[in-house]
């Protein structure tokens, strides 16, 4: 990430949530509770997203840039992002509405690791509930259960955009893609 889109962003606007880093240039925020056995198993790992979102929103709201940050993006470590294309895409939407923009190809939330973008109005509502989001039966992936949890608790619009390309290339030549 630091060799692609990461170079276009100020370091104070990059947050990496995980356990350890093999690259000392990456400031990793370990948000897994101390009582979780290490290495973290799948169950503990799934909590990273909800805990990470809570931590990131707190850091944004305590920063001098808090009024400038209109969107946050959740993504995997192997997701490729074109910042110019992403800026163009989000410019079509108003961050003062509760929005999540991504590609919903799995019926609930988002899937495939392509990431999604969360509007300012929505992420400012997270502190009251986001840490309570937990995996449920049939939704073990964090990119499914966290958006689903958000949608259950507050009014939010999911916007499905194919630009997020969450599926293998052959998917996009089908009727669904």
Q: pLDDT tens track of the chain, all 177 residues? A: 667 777 788 777 888 887 776 777 777 888 877 787 777 776 666 778 888 899 999 999 999 999 999 999 988 877 888 888 999 999 999 999 999 998 877 767 777 678 899 999 999 999 888 888 887 777 767 778 888 889 889 999 999 888 888 777 787 788 776
Contact 122, 159 (CB under 8 A): no
| Tokens (6 digits) for 119 | 């509007």
Q: How far apart are the C-alpha atoms of 160 and 41, rounded to whole Å?
A: 31
- For 48, the domain range is 5-173
Strand partners, 99: 157
CATH of the domain at 167: 3.90.550
The model carries a pTM of 0.87
Domain count within the chain: 1
Residue partners of 128: CB distance under 8 A and separation at least 6 = none
H/E run at residue 84? helix 83-90
- How far from chain centre, in Å, is Cα 91? 18
């Amino acid at each position: 990430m630091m060799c692609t889109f990461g170079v276009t962003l100020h370091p104070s606007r990059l947050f990496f949530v995980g356990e350890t880093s093999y690259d000392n240039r990456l400031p990793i925020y370990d948000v897994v509770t101390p009582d979780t056995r290490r290495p973290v198993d799948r169950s503990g790992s799934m909590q990273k997203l909800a805990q990470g979102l809570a931590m990131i929103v707190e850091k944004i709201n305590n920063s001098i840039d808090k009024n400038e940050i209109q969107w946050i993006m959740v993504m995997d470590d192997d997701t490729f992002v074109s910042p110019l294309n992403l800026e163009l895409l989000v410019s079509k939407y108003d961050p003062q509405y509760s929005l999540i923009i991504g590609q919903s190809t799995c019926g609930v939330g988002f899937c495939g690791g392509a990431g999604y973008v969360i509007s300012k109005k929505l992420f400012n509502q997270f502190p009251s509930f986001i840490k309570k989001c937990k995996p449920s039966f049939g939704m073990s992936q964090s990119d499914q259960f966290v958006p689903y949890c958000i949608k259950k608790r507050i009014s939010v619009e999911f916007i499905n955009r194919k630009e997020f390309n969450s599926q293998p290339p052959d998917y996009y030549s089908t009727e669904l893609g």
